[in-house]
Structure 1
Amino acid sequence: MLKLSGIILALLTVSFATSAQVMQDTTSRKADIIIEQSGNKASFSAQTPPLIQISGAPQAFYTYFWEFGDGNYSFKENPEHVYKDKGEYEVRLQVTNNYDNGKPPPSRPQPVKVGSIDHQPLPVVEEYESEGLAMLKTREPVPDEEMVVVMSYENKLASGTNGKLYLYFNERKFKASNFKIVEVRTHHGERQVENMLLSQYFNTMTEESQWASLSSGQAGLRYFGEGDSTKRKHIFVTIDESEQEFSDKLIFDFRDLAPGQRRNIFFTFKTTPEMIKDTSAIVKIRGVFVPDERSGNHQVEDLEMEITTSHDPNKMAVSDTRLNYRTRKHKKLKYKVRFQNNGEGPATTIKLDVDVPDIMDKSSLEVLDMHPKCPICPDNVPQVSYSCLDTLFSESQISFIFRNIYLPGSRQKGVEKYDSTKGFVQYRVKLKEKAPKVNSTSRTAIIFDKNEPILTNYAKTRFKPGLSLGAMAGYKAIRGLEDSKDYFFGVAVSPYMPHHGYLQAELQMSIGSYKDFNAYEVRTPFPNGIELTDIESVTEDFEYNYLNITLVPASYRYNISRFLGFGGGVQVSTKLFEREQVSRDYQYFIEFDGGREPSLDRNRTETVQATERTTDFNFGVFTGVDAGVDRIGPRAGVRYIYQARVPHNQWMFYLMWKF
């Protein structure tokens, strides 16, 4: 009995322990905000769950973004903040887990009540330098996760001003919406408006004076996009281009922005589950800042982001993940490789070994931007004593080498700005003139000083299938039909300039004719025992004219080279109508013992009126070869076709022009 009780107790203990373990495993991860306050001064820290290290990745770590509730923010792990005014503020925290397999731990906003002003405000150290407008993000976008975008705008004018802010998101080039707005937090009376009119200045100008201003270039504006940075765009052009490029927008009106004053608006975005899944794609959000409603002066800032599946500071992305092969000849792809020094000390040499796909022309390399900012190293100089970016070429790689730089480590003592430990290279390469239509992948090995390489994700570029229409015409030789003639024309649909194998559909219409012959005798004995026989000899000539339609729902073609291909497929055909005309020749004879005598006076010829009819479907299979100068242009081919119904055997000879 005691033994049985012991077994039951042991089972209950195991069951309880297992249940406790399951409950522990299912407990959601969260980050708790801890606040220590003295009057209007507060110190912030967070209690975070243990990190789940990604195997083979650098050491996992957290990054932090704090909103203090009064329009200020910090990326420090344990920031201090002094509130300027009395009141109640809501503190928010967003924690991002880098090199971690789990979800980012959420946190609940916490209130801070300021009842007295005991401390002088601390100097504000901005994370980003700007010319008036800055767009920054708290993390890279991951499907079905929240992120915060900060729009920071500053008055660079000599006097106070009113103006407008525009936020554009969800690029039209992607099928699905990538972002949705969860919340907008303003702290300086910014008011969301629906009016697209930019200001009272533009509202009161006549259309003639607006376009005169546009053509004269008097409204000097900051240019956005590629090319010469001294170029300017009119505000109307900026808004029009943004409206065409993005499907969603928010507009805000602001007032009384003092000279030198900087304000922040916080946007919480949720990335949609159906957002683009290509983790090498670059997406962007655009901000437009109109600081003076009495003029057309404005500033544009694009916030580029890379789609990720986990938060990894070492990343490679490409500007176009889907290309149109028809416009490839002058297409240039923009790549961005970003990296972060996660060490306890600075890095002085950073090498990026970038795989270059075969379809890319390495000699067309253009370095667009980099950080740390430095000049390009001179050619044929083995060693330099200053900071520069060197580029080396091998058969399948481009190596970017930062020489003699100082990039602090994220775990280095005294490093407060998290972004100071990050760097990037942005470059552009052109597709080869005769690049094959194949998908390409690129990857980067990042080497800090003499440490082991860190491999990034793959940046993938695929060509859109595209459609190629072909016009075809030819002749069919049909065995088993007398004097057969069959001329056809049709259209073909296939992918545009496929590399090797592809599917092709066709629709053909043919006009044809053929002849047939028949002969027989009708024998009628004379009555009353007369040993004579009346003979009617009939000769029939048939002539058929028809209109035929043939559908090739799918055929597989394979290009052995640019000049030769082969393939096969299935087809179904039917005659839309067939007209039959019969000509009968009647000859009469009297047959007697030993011979026959013609009855010429009875001979006659008749033609039967044409009749029209349709026929049942006829299924067939075919195989053939074709040749031509290119996959786009003229082709000539021959096919053998076998049909289920007579006539079974056909040969088809055709010419095709693909567009």
Structure 2
Amino acid sequence: MQRIIIFITILSLGHMARGQLVTDTTTRKAEILFNQYDNKVEFQADTPPLVQISGAPEAFYTYFWEFGDGHFSFEEKPEHVYNDKGEYQVRLQVTNNYDNGKPPPSRPKILKVGEVNEQPGPLSVEGDFQGLAMVKTREPVPNEDMVVVMRYKNDLGYASNGKLYIYYNERKFKANNFEIADVRTHHSEKPAEDMLLSAHFNTNALFASHEAWASAGMGAGMFPFCPSPGDSVRNHVFITEEESEREFRDKLIFKFEDLAPKEERNIFFTIKTTPEMLKDTSAIVKIRGVFVPDERSESHQVRDLEMEITTSHDPNKMAVSDTRINYRLADKKRLKYKVRFQNNGEGPATTIRLDVDVPSIIDKSTLKLLDTYPECPVCPDSDSLTVSYSCIDTVFSEKQISFIFNNIYLPGSNQEGVHKYDSTKGFVRYSVKLKDKAPKINSASRTAIIFDKNEPILTNYSKTHFKPGLSLGAMLGYNSVNSLDNSRNYFIGITASPYKPHRGYLQAELQVSKGTFESSRNYEIRTELEPGIDIMELTQVDEQTDFEYMDITLVPVSYRYNLNHFMGVGGGVQISGRLYEEYEQTSDYEYFLEFPQNRIEPNQDKPAETFVTSKKDRTTELNPGVFAGINLGSARIGPSVGMRYIWQVNEPRNVWAFYLQWKF
């Protein structure tokens, strides 16, 4: 057997030496292990080796345990005491941070409690909260599962019956980001229907059968017990429902009963992130929870659980509230950024510096610091003051804003005695406005995170794009056609293009023109009067034709480029079609007799005559062409004048157009 193993090893090394790829077919999975002492159980996970991302901090796992009785833990090796005898389904979710692969899945495991000898201790390990808390096990990654825990507690002095709402899938995103796959309750919570608003929502088919309530769990959340800024106790639940209806597409409602004073309960949601989830990994999405503690009262609490979309699980992350902005409303918009970080060192950090790149379109003077962790007051402005307490300072440079945590204690995840990874994390939330008349260019920002005097850790790029928007314009102009006599041609049109583009953009146009021109000719007709007689009848004809027509011109696409605020150039293709053409022809006939030796005399027998004919034609004849031109004035929005040269396949081939344009 040893010889066979040695041979296989040498063969594998030989393949690698020849440059062939060796595929690891080992299934990555995390297994639940436990030691049980009656109703007291010690848990731990058997996890596969981590595959370090090159250049990233040291890879590590974070854990989420669901004990099957309504309690949970984020510890690596938790202990749990069960209150009652019975069977419990334990779930584990592990998250691979800085690991080059997918999180290893885990199968639930059944645990039987036959004797209750140990008294349960306090549940402080789960964190304290007021009324309602929303806990996430990790940040959402497309095509991965996550768990959200809705925690609620009765802070009233009497037992209560009430409702819980969870709202998801924000309307501002076209595709759904989440699907709720499983729900696990442990205190007889039941799905409920909201009679007022149920017609406006897509009721999840999950609750068609109570048998659908099952499985899943994972990871480690970031400050799960800290309420989001703006969360509060509210007095009008109907107003909250209407606001949430406008903001979210989907919701679930639960009814609970007999919630004793100070009693805490948890509901677990397994949430699948859809493949269509917003691919921008600097976006912030949210799920909303609403807790109505007393069905006889409208008083309630609201919590928004904000999450940053990621492609891998990296505790150091930068995200922005709006990845796509309407440029028309940009001057009224404040962009909200969040930079989060984690100390992965073996000791505490006392100074943390966040050097944030500021895009050129951002006005640094509009900075507002919204929230921080660790919570610190702002350092005093005076440089002469030396402070010994914890504070956060902001320093501005030409292209950066630096947030500096001074005199703090942020433990390291590899520090001895540190078991809670949340205590090693921090964040800064701030908002800024765009500059006045900021150009319509996409922005990208990243942060360099420096713990004490260590090397910087660079985050992802947080990107904001401007929506193209729609700018309609009006045109009024004149077409000069030199090949036609006394030509006059005026046109009106509309344009469609992106709103206030910065440089290059596409534009479509539709024009209707009405024109006139003239045509004249003189010719002679000779007719023999009688055979053998050398006298001819000479008819002189003078024709004058007046044309009137209407054309329609479509510019399906043209490319335009703004050289600056006042000048733009462009070119494109067009197709013209004649809607109708009518003409009136006046023909004057004069008759003469032509004798030999070119002697001509009026024909007394035939006086002069005038004939008038008219005709109106409709035609579908098309005349394709190309053009190039220039605009002067307000190139991006507002009035401008323009000139373009048009070459067409059919006559008239050469046209010069001069016009006034106004974009709105």
When normalised by structure 1's length, the TM-score is: 0.92
Structure 2 unmatched ranges of 5 or more: 198-226
Residue 410, structure 1, aligned to residue 418, structure 2: no
Correspondent of 2:397 among 385, 394, 397: 394
Residue 617, structure 1, aligned to residue 619, structure 2: no
Structure-1 separation of matches of 2:515 and 2:228: 60
Structure-1 separation of matches of 2:476 and 2:339: 51
What residue in structure 2 maps to residue 604 of structure 1?
609
When residues 267 and 559 of structure 1 are mapped into structure 2, their CA distance, relative to the original with a 3 A threshold, is: same
325-334 or 409-418, which deviates more = 409-418
SS of structure 1 residue aligned to 2:395: strand
Structure-2 separation of matches of 1:362 and 1:642: 50
Task: Tell me the CA shift for residue 234 of structure 1.
Answer: 1.3
SS of structure 1 residue aligned to 2:52: coil
Query: Counterparts in 2 of 1:225-240, with a 5 A limit?
Result: 232-240=234-242
What residue in structure 2 maps to residue 209 of structure 1?
none
Contact 2:85 2:114 in 1 (8 A): yes
Task: Tell me the CA shift for residue 231 of structure 1.
Answer: 8.8
Contact 1:128 1:134 in 2 (8 A): no
SS of structure 2 residue aligned to 1:25: coil
Task: Tell me the CA shift for residue 621 of structure 1.
Answer: 1.1
When residues 528 and 61 of structure 1 are mapped into structure 2, their CA distance, relative to the original with a 3 A threshold, is: closer
158-167 or 124-133, which deviates more = 124-133
Please list the CA deviations of residues 103-143 of structure 1 after superposition, one character each: whole Å capped at 9, or x if unmatched.
Answer: 10011111111111111112212444322100011110000
What residue in structure 2 maps to residue 323 of structure 1?
325
Task: Tell me the CA shift for residue 194 of structure 1.
Answer: 2.0
Contact 2:489 2:515 in 1 (8 A): yes
Task: Tell me the CA shift for residue 525 of structure 1.
Answer: 2.5
Contact 2:32 2:44 in 1 (8 A): yes
Please list the CA deviations of residues 594-635 of structure 1 after superposition, one character each: whole Å capped at 9, or x if unmatched.
Answer: 320022542101011323242521111111111123521111
Structure 1 unmatched ranges of 5 or more: 1-5, 199-223
When residues 306 and 196 of structure 1 are mapped into structure 2, their CA distance, relative to the original with a 3 A threshold, is: farther
What residue in structure 2 maps to residue 103 of structure 1?
102
Residue 466, structure 1, aligned to residue 465, structure 2: no
Structure-1 separation of matches of 2:420 and 2:435: 41
Please list the CA deviations of residues 532-568 of structure 1 after superposition, one character each: whole Å capped at 9, or x if unmatched.
Answer: 1110111111111111001111111111111111111
When residues 449 and 15 of structure 1 are mapped into structure 2, their CA distance, relative to the original with a 3 A threshold, is: closer
Task: Tell me the CA shift for residue 226 of structure 1.
Answer: 6.8
Residue 653, structure 1, aligned to residue 658, structure 2: yes
When residues 545 and 300 of structure 1 are mapped into structure 2, their CA distance, relative to the original with a 3 A threshold, is: same
Residue 423, structure 1, aligned to residue 422, structure 2: no
What residue in structure 1 maps to residue 248 of structure 2?
246
When residues 130 and 40 of structure 1 are mapped into structure 2, their CA distance, relative to the original with a 3 A threshold, is: same
Task: Tell me the CA shift for residue 275 of structure 1.
Answer: 0.6
When residues 627 and 226 of structure 1 are mapped into structure 2, their CA distance, relative to the original with a 3 A threshold, is: farther
Contact 2:568 2:635 in 1 (8 A): no
Correspondent of 1:299 among 301, 305, 312: 301
Query: Counterparts in 2 of 1:434-513, with a 5 A limit?
Result: 434-513=437-516
What residue in structure 1 maps to residue 215 of structure 2?
none
Q: State the AA in 2 paired with 1:426.
A: R
Correspondent of 1:519 among 522, 528, 531: 522
119-128 or 305-314, which deviates more = 119-128
Q: State the AA in 2 paired with 1:270.
A: K
What residue in structure 1 maps to residue 643 of structure 2?
638
SS of structure 1 residue aligned to 2:149: strand
Contact 1:581 1:611 in 2 (8 A): no
When residues 233 and 157 of structure 1 are mapped into structure 2, their CA distance, relative to the original with a 3 A threshold, is: closer
Contact 1:502 1:558 in 2 (8 A): yes
When normalised by structure 2's length, the TM-score is: 0.91
What residue in structure 1 maps to residue 44 of structure 2?
45
Task: Tell me the CA shift for residue 170 of structure 1.
Answer: 0.7
Structure-2 separation of matches of 1:23 and 1:529: 110
What residue in structure 2 maps to residue 172 of structure 1?
171
Structure-1 separation of matches of 2:329 and 2:319: 21
Correspondent of 1:309 among 308, 311, 315: 311
When residues 457 and 22 of structure 1 are mapped into structure 2, their CA distance, relative to the original with a 3 A threshold, is: closer
What residue in structure 2 maps to residue 138 of structure 1?
137
Structure-2 separation of matches of 1:76 and 1:11: 40
Task: Tell me the CA shift for residue 12 of structure 1.
Answer: 13
Query: Counterparts in 2 of 1:103-122, with a 5 A limit?
Result: 103-122=102-121
Contact 1:642 1:648 in 2 (8 A): yes
Structure-2 separation of matches of 1:629 and 1:144: 47
What residue in structure 2 maps to residue 55 of structure 1?
54
SS of structure 2 residue aligned to 1:602: coil
Contact 1:284 1:302 in 2 (8 A): yes
SS of structure 1 residue aligned to 2:84: coil
58-67 or 631-640, which deviates more = 631-640
Please list the CA deviations of residues 27-54 of structure 1 after superposition, one character each: whole Å capped at 9, or x if unmatched.
Answer: 2200011010010000000110000000
Correspondent of 1:283 among 282, 285, 297: 285
When residues 127 and 608 of structure 1 are mapped into structure 2, their CA distance, relative to the original with a 3 A threshold, is: same
Q: State the AA in 2 paired with 1:633.
A: G
Structure-2 separation of matches of 1:127 and 1:571: 68
When residues 15 and 365 of structure 1 are mapped into structure 2, their CA distance, relative to the original with a 3 A threshold, is: closer
What residue in structure 2 maps to residue 203 of structure 1?
none
Query: Counterparts in 2 of 1:350-369, with a 5 A limit?
Result: 350-369=352-371
What residue in structure 1 maps to residue 79 of structure 2?
80
